[in-house]
Amino acid sequence: MSANTTVAPILQANNIEMRFGGLIAVNGVSLTVSPGEIVGLIGPNGAGKTTFFNCLTGMYRPTAGGVIFEGKPLSSRPHLVTKAGVARTFQNIRLFPNMTALENVMVGRHTQTRAGVLTAIMRGPRYRREERESTERAHELLSFVGLDAAWNLLAKELPYGDQRRLEIARALASEPRMLLLDEPTAGMNPQETRETRDLVLSIRDQGLAIVVIEHDMRFVFTLCDRVAVLVQGELLTQGTPDEVQSDPRVIAAYLGTTDEEQS
């Protein structure tokens, strides 16, 4: 594991609050992520993890607080968040089922292309060049995640684990500097989980910062440099994997026991 804590954070989420009517789903959560760091976000079901992700990526506009990315306020509009350098996957896979694996990844390249509508319609030189570059890069990313042989298969024809990897490839197609993964091993068998762990480490080795929501504690504690725990919309604690997994409050939150029962 490697975390660079000597430089300014790439991401700062400051006192994020998200209300839905009278319900407070996220209550004053702050989190920093350093370049090249893998941060795990864990907590019981309903703890607010995905809602917090949605606030970071513009799916929700926080009721209070803000997000700083690379020293600048991050927009609350998803396409501008992606353009700024933050990409994500989703808890429920969101692929285009009737497009090929290659086409799905090429869709993720939209923030990297500049050809206008007229150029695209006329299929001018700039459009053809960008189309060629996007195709080459999509093949590279499919190879990186282990799916290059499946480039011409429809997304819906791929096994579940491959669909998960395809979604990661599509996220990487926007050339992000930070990647948010929402339950990347959900529904996977142990072998697929190990392969996903290796893939995430390879992505980090390319210089990306990563935040991952996951319920598989073995996956989180063997992968992450730091782990943050949300409980009922609030940040309970954060620290190294060893610190977090030995914290009685974390044990109580997952087992549903009280501090008195733990003592």
Q: Note the pLDDT tens digit of each residue in 98-124.
A: 999 999 999 988 765 554 434 445 566
What topology does CATH give the domain 1-85+177-263?
Rossmann fold (3.40.50)
Residue 121 pLDDT: 53
Q: Are 219 and 47 in contact (CB under 8 A)?
A: no
- Measured N-to-C along each axis, helices 160-172 and 125-144 cross at an angle, to the nearest 10 degrees, of 130
Question: Is 259's pLDDT higher than 90?
Answer: no
Start-to-end Cα distance in the chain:
33
Helices and strands (DSSP H and E) totals, the chain = 11, 10
Segment 40-68 shows an average pLDDT of: 94
Q: Note the pLDDT tens digit of each residue in 57-88.
A: 999 999 999 999 999 999 988 989 999 999 99
Write down the pTM of the prediction. 0.86
Q: Note the pLDDT tens digit of each residue in 212-235.
A: 999 999 999 999 999 999 999 999
Spatial CA neighbour of 147 closest among 129, 128, 126, 167: 167
List alpha helices for the chain, DSSP H: 49-56, 78-84, 101-107, 117-122, 125-144, 160-172, 190-205, 217-223, 241-245, 248-255, 259-262
Unique residue bearing structure tokens 């914290």: 247
Segment 144-159 shows an average pLDDT of: 95
Residue 112's CB is within 10 A of a number of other CB atoms, namely 14
Mean pLDDT of the chain: 88
Upper half-sphere CA count for residue 113 (Cβ side, 13 Å): 22
Residue that wins the pLDDT comparison between 239 and 93: 239
Segment 6-13 shows an average pLDDT of: 89
DSSP string, 216-246: -HHHHHHH-SEEEEEETTEEEEEE-HHHHHT
Indicate the domain borders of the chain.
1-85+177-263, 95-175
Q: Residue 186 contacts by C-beta under 8 Å, 6 or more apart in sequence? A: 91, 164, 215
Residue 121's CB is within 10 A of a number of other CB atoms, namely 10
Q: Residue 194 contacts by C-beta under 8 Å, 6 or more apart in sequence? A: none
